[in-house]
Structure 1
């Protein structure tokens, strides 16, 4: 089974047991590591069987892929941040770096900016997420939208938090923040899709039951990250919604994509598009 997910600690933690053949009855995985902007593009081109993608890309790919009800990343207090080199900077007409224009972070940012940035932002520059903070610090861009462990490390770059997209989302919706989704090709068939969902759920449970087992895999793919930051990353992004979206999780995904469609940021979802076979 060909799968792509990021080398970030939350993904390697979640998929460790499955990727290393420790789940009885689960299909073997052929893993490709790729940043979220790459996996979003893979999904739009219909590449690979299973992918970790941004929830924001779902309206473009749900004809080909089904959303698995587990394995992804939602949560509270874990939203993307807007960072600047000086506090209190106005973003009107400014140059902003983002990790992807198909990312959930970008949708949350555009919904926030529509309310909070009079006149709108200026140029949007897409760059790998690990380049964004250096670009803000150097003045290459005026602000950066950051994800992942950057919420723990941005002060190391001398940067300032201008706004928290998650705080804005949660205060206006009372719902968790939908970030990353696991999708699988519909052509695999309903039985196979259910098998994949079961494997993803069991892999999450196995990681929680024996967190030490995943440490070599996590560390191997996060070599430049402080182990304490990696643990914080996992603690924030792997939670009850990873084991199962549940009512609040599905409400969050529908809410985000419905609001984004109303703003013309994504196509509207077809009825039943999020339903799992």
Structure 2
């Protein structure tokens, strides 16, 4: 059976899936056609049901639960891993100023957008762009504020930008659970047997990568060409952890907490 598998070119995803898609582990007869896209593209494709197995942001998962189910392995979830609200302005912002400012975010279906809305429910001057363009939008005064994710956590200060709010820290202090950023889902129509097989293979693929770490696979380097190996390792160290091997009860409870917040923000209840 051949499955279309979508994930991002970011180091955490390529690190997890390298062994699976590049023949480094036995896949038990399953074939995977890898499709690498930015997470908001993957979110949109999930809403359209394009891929058999895909990485997606948790708000996109909440919208697609009739079609997809969450795997135990492959997720990005943890502590101290949340998006950052940043600005080129050195002076502190008041909450009223943030609510009235132009903010650029990495996609309407992203967890970053949900966490920003959780922290600042009255901020409505929002626009959306590709995550790696947000720093430049703020540097060039296209927006007063930006929400950054992924490797931009490690580079924004190099561009003279400053942190306004750690949205992950805000979430952790308020909700007392880890931050669920993104998960790996599979089409329910494929059945329980394929669910179990794919889930086990993703875990095996990650265990293969961990067994050789801190070596950075060529596959990771290939898709992170503008990044130094130091930043690649920082990225992997931050976003790939025991929750990536298995969400477990604590991880799934955190996802349920995020789902309840998502529903409250979208229904006003």
2:154 to 136, 144, 152: 152
The CA distance in 2 between the partners of 1:184 and 1:21, in whole Å, is: 21
Measured at CA, do residues 237 and 72 of structure 1 come closer, stay the same or move farther in structure 2, by a change above 3 Å? same
Instruction: Count residues with an aligned counterpart.
Output: 262
C-alpha displacement at 1:12, in angstroms? Answer: 0.4
1:58 to 46, 61, 79: 61
C-alpha displacement at 1:263, in angstroms? Answer: 2.0
Q: Specify every segment of 5 or more residues in structure 2 that has no aligned partner in the other structure, as ranges.
A: none
Matches within 5 A, 1:118-157: 120-157=122-159
Query: Larger deviation: 235-244 or 255-264?
Result: 255-264
Counterpart secondary structure, 1:62 = coil
Kept after mapping to 2: 8 A contact 1:12/1:214:
no
What is the TM-score with the length of structure 1 in the denominator? 0.91
1:109 aligns with 2:112: no
C-alpha displacement at 1:214, in angstroms? Answer: 4.9
The CA distance in 1 between the partners of 2:226 and 2:205, in whole Å, is: 25
Measured at CA, do residues 228 and 214 of structure 1 come closer, stay the same or move farther in structure 2, by a change above 3 Å? closer
Partner of 1:240: 242
The CA distance in 2 between the partners of 1:197 and 1:204, in whole Å, is: 11
Deviations 1:29-61 (A, max 9, x none): 111110000000000000011110001111211
Counterpart secondary structure, 1:264 = helix
C-alpha displacement at 1:211, in angstroms? Answer: 2.7
The CA distance in 1 between the partners of 2:148 and 2:240, in whole Å, is: 18
Matches within 5 A, 1:219-234: 219-234=221-236
Counterpart secondary structure, 1:149 = helix
Kept after mapping to 1: 8 A contact 2:104/2:126:
yes
The CA distance in 2 between the partners of 1:161 and 1:213, in whole Å, is: 31
What is the TM-score with the length of structure 2 in the denominator? 0.94
Measured at CA, do residues 188 and 216 of structure 1 come closer, stay the same or move farther in structure 2, by a change above 3 Å? same
* Over 4 Å off, 4+ runs: none
2:21 to 16, 19, 22: 19
The CA distance in 1 between the partners of 2:264 and 2:4, in whole Å, is: 35
The CA distance in 2 between the partners of 1:103 and 1:206, in whole Å, is: 29
C-alpha displacement at 1:257, in angstroms? Answer: 1.0
1:84 aligns with 2:93: no
